[in-house]
Structure 1
Amino acid sequence: MPDLADVKGQLEARRALEVAAAGGHSLLFFGAPGTGKSMLAQRLPGILPPMTEDEALASAAVQSLTAGFDVTGWGRRAYRSPHHSSSVAAVIGGGCEFHQ
């Protein structure tokens, strides 16, 4: 698994990653190509706490509905890396309506 120690510089982005990991917050990196967004995102799972049994089971259930569950990934946190040309609607799940 990629290690956050490999990242040189990027102090503000590293801090945001650490705060999000500690608080269970979501992140959205954006910026010019080649600035380290993907490199940082790939390292997020390495600084998150281990999954609980319930979290691992829920993750496996979702994976089994989509791309298929691979038992070698049991308990490993996933991250998504959308293509740079993805629309805002594709990234946040456009087309959904909010109902109260």
Structure 2
Amino acid sequence: MTNPIRFALVLSALGLAGCVDDTDMSSAAPDLVSQGEMPRFCRGAAAEEFSARPMDVITLPAEPDQGMYTVPGQIDDLFFYCTFSAEGRLVGVDRA
């Protein structure tokens, strides 16, 4: 006779073997952000783009600019800006 606890553990392990979450959250980003969230989102994008820590990135509020939004920012002596579409999608991070 087999041990019922061992049998239950084996069945549980087999059942969970196919349960894999293949969602890579490190690259997941929201498609659209509100105007109020643009500076925070820009901070993270600029930190990644310029290999800086987010806490070292300074951003200003988003400014409407020719049907889009621009978020000015600075990392030490590097000035940059993030551009967002009118809908709130990040278009790019560029040096100023």
Interval containing the TM-score (normalised by the shorter chain)? under 0.3
Using CA pairs below 8 Å that are at least 6 residues apart, which structure has the higher relative contact order? 1
Q: Give the structure with the larger strand fraction.
A: 2
With normalisation by structure 2, the TM-score equals: 0.23
Who wins on radius of gyration, i.e. which is larger? 2
With normalisation by structure 1, the TM-score equals: 0.23
